[in-house]
Amino acid sequence: MNYACPHCGVNLRFKGPIRRPYPGECKFLPTRTYFLCRACETVIVPNGHSVEGSKVIMLPMLIVFAMLQPEFWRWIPATAKNSVAVGLSIIFVACVAYFCWQFHSQTKTWPRWRVANEQELVQLNLKPD
């Protein structure tokens, strides 16, 4: 992931951008905030990658929730319980590993931030329309 500011190129990975409340929001614990670059104060917005919205991570979560339910184990024969537990654990690890690999390989050079467009600036009352 490339954490550089899209306008000036300063790395925002560790300190991150400045967070400001939306116009009209309470200064203390606002519900909506926007981001400014620390160096050039350009309004920037998070640039999400499609992998971040991926549903691949749902299957391992479903497996964990199923395995935590006593009802799930009730309808599995006693002799097969160990193999089912091992099988589901392998599927769980494979799904998580696949997700991590996909995330790591596809977002290596992906920019974390992009400059806010006209519509987003108008929404913030930062630019007269």
- List interacting residues with Zn ion (CB under 5 A): 5, 7-8, 37, 39-40
Taken in order 7, 10, 15, 18, the sign of the CA dihedral is: negative
- Nearest distance from C-beta of residue 114 to Zn ion, angstroms: 12
- Nearest distance from C-beta of residue 32 to Zn ion, angstroms: 22
> Could you say which DSSP state residue 67 is in?
H
Q: Return the number of the residue (37 or 95) whose C-beta is nearest Zn ion.
A: 37
Cα 64 from Cα 88, distance rounded (Å): 9
- Nearest distance from C-beta of residue 33 to Zn ion, angstroms: 17
> Could you say which DSSP state residue 113 is in?
E
